[in-house]
Amino acid sequence: MNRLESYRHKKVLVLGLAKSGVSAAALLHKLGAFVTVNDMKPLSENPEAQGLLEQGIKVICGDHPIELLDEGFELIVKNPGIPYHNPMIVGAIDREIPVITEVELAYQISEAPFIGITGTNGKTTTTTLIHEMLQEGQKHPLIAGNIGTVASGVAELATQENTIVIELSSFQLMGITTFRPRIAIVTNLYDAHLDYHGTRKEYWSAKANITKNQTEADYLIVNGDQVQCQELAEESSAKVFYFSTSKVLDEGAYISNGWVMWGQEQVVQLKDIVLPGVHNLENILSSVAAAKLSGVSNEAIFQVLSTFKGVKHRLQYIAEVKGRRFYNDSKATNILATSKALSAFDTPIVLLAGGLDRGNSFDELIPYLENVKALVSFGQTAVKIEDAAIKAGIKQIKRVDNVEKAVPVAFELSEPGDVILLSPACASWDQYKTFEVRGDIFIEAVHKL
C-alpha cells in the first residue's frame, strides 16, 4: 500500500464502527494518526471497540458527545450509514472539519486501480460478474465493498498488478473527495433511500459522485436506456460507453440477433448464458463492457456467462423439491427489485414477501403479480402487501410470523412446476439484522423440506 505521510500525527475521529470503521481506525493507526473512535454501542457490548482499545486506540462508546468535536480533529471518517443530518456530522461541517467515508481512505492508500460499480439495482451481480471475468482473464482482481471485504482492508494488500472491483452505495459516495475509478459503472437510477437522502435529486447526485473525479483517461459505463443515466454521463469528463437491451449501439454493449455485442464484435450468444431474468441482461452487458475495456478475452467472458448462476441472495437458485423450484431473492429490499425478480419467470409463482415498513404502499407491484398464484406474507408490511395482492386478484393469501414458517406454507400452496420465490420487496430490519440472515434462514428452511 501507499504509506501516506500525510496522516502521521493527524488527529482523526472515526465515527461509527461496524466493519468499515474498525478497518479505517486500524489503518489510520498504522499510518501514524492520532485516532479516536466514537461508537453508540456501550463498550461492554462492543467487542470491535474493545479490540481497538487493545491496539492503543482511544475509544469513546455509549453515545455521540457533541463536545468531542471541540478536541481539534482535522478529519472525520464516518460510517456510511450515519446520515448527514446527524448532529455530529452537522457539527463537524459547521466547524469545517472534512468528513469522508472509508472508501476514500482506501483509494488514497491503494496501489491498484479501481473499477467502481453503483446504481439502484444490479450492483452486486454486476460486481461479481466483473470480478469473475477478470479472474478468468487472469487480470488479478480483488473484490471489495458491500459485497466483499472492507475496501481499506483490500487496498492494504493490493499491488499494481491487481484491480480492485468495488460495489459502492450512495452513502459511501457522498463521502469521497479524490476517489477516481479507472472504470465507473452506473447500472440504473430509480428512487431509493429517500429516507436517508431526502430527495431524488440528492440521491442521484450522490450516485453521480462516482465519476466526478474521472478524466478523459478514464471510462464511464452507463445505462443507455435511461434518460437520467444519460444526463449523468453528459456531466462526466470520462470516455462514455453505453449499454442497452433495447437498441443497437455504434459503441458499447447491446443485444443483436441473439448475441451480446461489443461494438461490431460478437461476444457470446444469449442461448449460452445461464443466469435467469431479463433484468440480468443489463448486468451482463455492463459487465461485458467493463471486461472488454480491461482487456479480457471473449473466451474468458463466455466461460463465466455459461456457468454463472447468480449471487447468493439475489435470485439464487436453491433446490427443487417435489417439482417445486425454490429461489432466494432476499436482497430484493425494494419494489423495483421484486418486480424484476417476478418478471424473470413465466411459470406460476408462490411469492414470499414482507418486511420493514417504510411508509409506502405496494400498488406499484400489482402489474408484476400476474403469474403469482399465492402470497405468503410476513413482517411489518404484511397487510400492505396483502392489499396489493387482493387488488391483483390473488386468491390464496396466507400470513405467517416469519420466513422460516413461510417456507412450508408456500410448499403446501404450490404444485409441481411452480416457482417458490422469496423476494420480500422490503428491508429486513423489522425481524432480521441483515437481508443475508433472512436469506440464510430461507435456505435452511428449504433444506429442511
For the beta sheet containing 316-321, the strands, ordered from the edge strand earlier in sequence to the opposite edge, are: 316-321, 324-328, 419-422, 349-353, 372-377, 396-399
Task: Give the pLDDT band (50/70/90) at residue 384.
Answer: very high
Which comes out higher in pLDDT, residue 128 or 197? Answer: 128
- In this prediction, residue 107 carries a pLDDT of 97
C-beta separation of 419 from 349 below 8 A: yes
Query: What is the tens place of the pLDDT at every residue in 241-299?
Result: 999 999 999 999 999 999 999 999 999 999 999 887 777 899 999 999 999 999 999 99
* Span 158-185, average pLDDT: 96
Q: Has residue 132 got a pLDDT over 90?
A: yes
pLDDT attached to residue 198: 61
**pLDDT on residue 4:** 87
More confident residue, 343 or 161: 161
CB-based contacts of 182: which residues, under 8 Å, 6+ apart?
Answer: 113, 114, 115, 163, 218, 219
Strand extents, DSSP E, 190-237: 219-223
Residue 76 pLDDT: 97
In degrees and rounded to multiples of 5, residue 265 shows phi and psi of: -100, 130
Other Cβ atoms less than 10 A from the Cβ of 232: the count is: 22
Spatial contact of 373 and 396, defined as CB atoms under 8 Å apart = yes
Contact indicator for 372, 410 with CB cutoff of 8 Å: no
CA distances from 309 to 273, 296, 314, 410 (A): 9, 20, 10, 23
**Mean pLDDT of all residues in the chain?**
94
What pLDDT shows up at residue 228?
93
- pLDDT of 70 strictly over 90: yes
Burial 161-171 (b: 16+ CB within 10 A, else e): ebbbbbbbbbb
- Please tell me the predicted confidence (pLDDT) of residue 389: 98
Following CA atoms 102, 108, 109, 110 in sequence, which dihedral angle do they give, to the nearest 10 degrees? 100
CA distances, 42 to each of 55, 62, 65 (Å) = 18, 4, 13
Eight-state DSSP code of residue 147: T
pLDDT digits (tens, 9 = 90+) for 80-96: 888 889 999 999 999 99
Instruction: Look at residue 194 and tell me whether its pLDDT is greater than 90.
Output: no
Geometric angle at alpha carbon 120, from 334 and 391, rounded to 5° = 30
Do residues 292 and 300 lie in contact, with contact meaning Cβ atoms separated by under 8 Å? no
- pTM for this entry: 0.80
- Tens-digit pLDDT profile for residues 258-268: 999 999 999 99
Which domains, ranges and CATH numbers included, belong to the chain? 8-100 (3.40.50.720), 104-305 (3.40.1190.10), 316-448 (3.90.190.20)
The CA-CA-CA angle for residues 302, 307, 308, to 5°, reads 100
Query: Stretch 329-354: mean pLDDT, rounded?
Result: 93
Q: What is the greatest pairwise CA distance in the chain? A: 66
Ramachandran area for residue 196 (φ above 0: left; ψ -120 to 50: alpha; else beta): alpha
Block residue for cell numbers 483490500 = 154
The pLDDT assigned to 18 comes to 85
Contact criterion met (CB below 8 Å) for 232 and 207: yes
For residues 432 and 403, what is the distance between their CA atoms, to the nearest angstrom?
10
Task: Name the band, by pLDDT with cuts 50, 70 and 90, for residue 193.
Answer: low
Binned at pLDDT 50, 70 and 90, residue 192 comes out as low
DSSP string, 242-308: EEESSS--SSSEEEETTEEEETTEEEEEGGG-----THHHHHHHHHHHHHHHTT--HHHHHHHHTT-
pLDDT of residue 42: 94
Strand pairing category for 114-118 and 163-167: parallel
pLDDT given for residue 197 in this prediction: 55
393: how many CB neighbours lie within 10 A of its CB? 10
Distance of CA 198 to the CA centre of its chain: 20
Nine cell digits for residue 36:
479516536
Predicted confidence (pLDDT) at residue 52 exceeds the cutoff of 90: yes
Q: How far apart are CA 165 and CA 134, in angstroms?
A: 9
Q: Quote the pLDDT of residue 178.
A: 97
